[in-house]
């Protein structure tokens, strides 16, 4: 089984943060690749633990991940763009 998730990455000071909004899980690293690797590791540990506790299906449902296409789980919503915006306020 595979799972398709969103990954957001940003820089905070000298660290990079990688965040999965569907699962509300974050990790960090000294560079982009390390942050990405750490996020995957944290997600896998979390999913393994929910399976051990018997709460995997409930966790997936609460996270909005329940659509299955073949052997891939994914959220109903999919990020299609991410653009910073700037506008004046009064």
Give domain status of residue 86, yes or no.
no
- Residue 10: CATH number of its domain: 3.30.160
pLDDT score recorded for residue 25: 96
Residue 56, C-beta contacts closer than 8 angstroms, at least 6 positions apart: 47, 50
- Would you write out the chain's pLDDT as a tens digit for each of its 90 residues? 888 898 999 999 999 999 999 999 999 999 999 999 999 999 999 999 999 999 999 999 899 887 676 788 888 777 777 787 888 898
The pLDDT assigned to 19 comes to: 95
Residue 57 within any structural domain of the chain: yes
φ, ψ of residue 21 to 5 degrees: the values are -65, -30
Which domain does 19 fall in, by range?
A: 2-75
Tokens 């957001």, residue located: 8
Identify whether 90 is part of a domain.
Answer: no
């Amino acid at each position: 089984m595979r799972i398709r998730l969103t990954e957001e990455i940003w820089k905070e000071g000298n660290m990079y943060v990688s965040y999965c909004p569907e699962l509300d899980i974050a990790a960090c690293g000294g560079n982009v690749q390390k942050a990405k690797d750490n996020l995957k590791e944290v997600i896998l540990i979390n999913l393994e633990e929910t399976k051990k506790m018997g709460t995997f299906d409930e966790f997936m449902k609460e996270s909005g991940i329940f659509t299955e296409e073949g052997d891939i789980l994914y959220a109903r919503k999919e990020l299609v763009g991410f653009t910073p915006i700037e506008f004046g306020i009064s």
